[in-house]
């Protein structure tokens, strides 16, 4: 006699799975909150009349291993994340943290004063403050009622 050892998934489980799949598919058409970064590191860009602030998460990179340069309206962040120095006799259980060299350029919405650019580093997050050129700051024009 044929004896069935394993329980086949019930039809409802199957329907539920299908529903989840459909939801996931529909979600992918909706606009995302975040634009995926083309390469490491992902950056956030903040803009005001005064200038631009760029932040990026670069955990595990020493401030001296990262370079920031600005040419007109092109910001370049490059550097290297060095692999962890471990002894000979180690056995990895899990290795998810990438390492290696990286370089990324981003076009800024306007030219900035390269001499006044400041970068700070805190808890693995780099914040770059790029003030706008004084002569290029927008001027408020008063509307006079007649």
Binding site for other proteins (CB under 8 A): 33-48, 50, 52-53, 57-63, 81, 83-84, 86-87, 89-100, 102, 109, 121, 123-125
Cβ proximity to other proteins, 3 vs 12, nearer residue:
12
Least gap, CB of 21 to other proteins (angstroms): 15
Cβ proximity to other proteins, 68 vs 121, nearer residue:
121
Where b means 16+ CB within 10 Å and e means fewer, 121-145 reads: eeeeebebbbbbeeeeeeeeeeeee
Please provide the size of the chain in residues.
146
Which tokens hold the place of 4? Answer: 């069935």
Which tokens hold the place of 126? Answer: 């780099």
* β 118-122/100-107 pair status: unpaired
Least gap, CB of 142 to other proteins (angstroms): 21
Least gap, CB of 61 to other proteins (angstroms): 7
Least gap, CB of 102 to other proteins (angstroms): 5
Residue that is written with structure tokens 């990262």 in the block: 66
Cβ proximity to other proteins, 31 vs 145, nearer residue:
31
* β 74-81/43-47 pair status: unpaired
Cβ proximity to other proteins, 129 vs 133, nearer residue:
129
């Amino acid at each position: 006699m044929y004896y069935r050892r394993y329980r086949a998934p019930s039809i409802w489980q199957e329907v539920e799975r299908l529903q989840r799949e459909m939801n996931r598919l529909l979600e992918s058409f909706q606009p995302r909150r975040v634009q995926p970064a083309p390469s490491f590191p992902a950056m956030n860009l903040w803009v005001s009349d005064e200038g631009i602030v760029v932040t990026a998460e670069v955990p595990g990179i020493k401030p001296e291993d990262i370079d920031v340069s600005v040419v007109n309206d092109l910001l370049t962040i490059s550097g290297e994340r060095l692999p962890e120095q471990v002894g000979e006799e180690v056995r990895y259980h899990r290795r998810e943290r990438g390492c290696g060299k990286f370089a990324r350029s981003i076009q800024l919405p306007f030219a900035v004063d390269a001499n006044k650019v400041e970068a700070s580093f805190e808890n693995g997050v780099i914040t770059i403050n790029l003030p706008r050129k004084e002569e290029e700051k927008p001027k408020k024009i008063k509307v006079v009622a007649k």
